[in-house]
């Protein structure tokens, strides 16, 4: 079944070229294309996307504000943020607000398609630049609200600890699979268990807790 994709971007040329790319690629279906995030809940209800591509800098409602509305109504929807800027504050805010990934608009087409597929499969695609910046922000003292636990309390298996360590180092699901010589589905299984044991729901929360509680070095 094709991945249903919705595009929200105020740049007409960019959104039309992105639609052309997706329409001409096997496995994707563009079910909605919009120039802004006004009335976003209605748009999502009408287009029913699997993955939403959301521009972060738009008139009327910016991407991060729209993301809060989206996640309040559709907490499981995979939202992939897009931007031409590498702004650390916007990056961190988007991830904290529930974006599953964050890519730059100048990403090569093949990598963008791969990122959409990864987001649909439950992964957390980041450009390498963005991943390093987000991880650096966590490591250098962004506020974390959860209480600190000891490493032993989480009862992670050796493999889960290894996978979590690779997440902390910024590796994607596919890169973790290759590094550990396991399948993508096995990586998803381990990360699901990690989330449950750490009582988190996003990669950013998992990485933050791993660093704060010294689960990985």
Entry pTM: 0.68
How far, CA to CA in Å, does 51 sit from each of 28, 99, 100, 113?
Answer: 10, 11, 10, 11
Q: What structural domains does the chain harbor?
A: 3-137 (3.40.50.2300), 143-212 (1.10.10.10)
Cβ atoms 57, 63 nearer than 8 A:
yes
The confidence score (pLDDT) of residue 144 equals 42
The confidence score (pLDDT) of residue 127 equals 60
The confidence score (pLDDT) of residue 138 equals 63
Cβ atoms 168, 210 nearer than 8 A:
yes
The confidence score (pLDDT) of residue 147 equals 43
**Shortest CA distance to 127 belongs to which of 164, 92, 101?**
101
Which residues of the chain fall below pLDDT 70?
85-89, 126-152, 217
The confidence score (pLDDT) of residue 16 equals 93
The confidence score (pLDDT) of residue 145 equals 43
Report d(CA 168, CA 171) in Å as an integer.
Answer: 8
The confidence score (pLDDT) of residue 146 equals 44
Q: Is 1 exposed, middle or buried (0-12, 13-18, 19+ CB in 10 A)?
A: exposed
The confidence score (pLDDT) of residue 84 equals 79
Q: What is the DSSP letter of 86?
A: -
Report d(CA 68, CA 75) in Å as an integer.
Answer: 10
The confidence score (pLDDT) of residue 152 equals 60
Bridge partners of 3, per DSSP, are: 28
The count of C-alpha atoms lying within 13 angstroms of the C-alpha of 125, restricted to the half-sphere facing its C-beta, is 22
The confidence score (pLDDT) of residue 27 equals 93
């Amino acid at each position: 079944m094709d991945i249903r994709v919705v595009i929200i971007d105020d740049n007409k040329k960019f959104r039309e070229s992105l639609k052309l790319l997706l329409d001409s690629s096997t496995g994707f279906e563009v079910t909605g294309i919009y120039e802004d995030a006004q009335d976003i809940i209605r748009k999502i209800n009408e287009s029913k996307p699997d993955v939403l591509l959301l521009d972060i800098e738009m008139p009327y409602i910016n991407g991060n504000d729209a993301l809060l509305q989206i996640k309040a109504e559709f907490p499981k929807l995979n939202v992939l943020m897009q931007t031409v800027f590498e702004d650390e504050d916007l990056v961190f805010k988007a991830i904290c607000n529930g974006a599953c990934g964050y890519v730059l608009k100048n990403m090569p087409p093949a990598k963008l398609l791969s990122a959409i597929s990864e987001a649909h499969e439950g992964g957390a695609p980041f450009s390498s630049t963005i991943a390093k910046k987000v991880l650096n922000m966590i490591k250098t003292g962004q506020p974390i609200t959860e209480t600190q636990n000891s490493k032993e309390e989480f009862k992670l298996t050796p493999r889960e600890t290894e996978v979590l360590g690779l997440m902390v180092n910024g590796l994607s699901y596919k890169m973790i699979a290759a590094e550990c010589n396991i399948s993508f589905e096995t990586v998803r299984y381990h990360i699901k268990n990690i989330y449950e044991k750490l009582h988190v729901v996003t990669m950013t929360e998992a990485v933050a807790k791993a660093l704060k509680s010294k689960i990985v070095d």
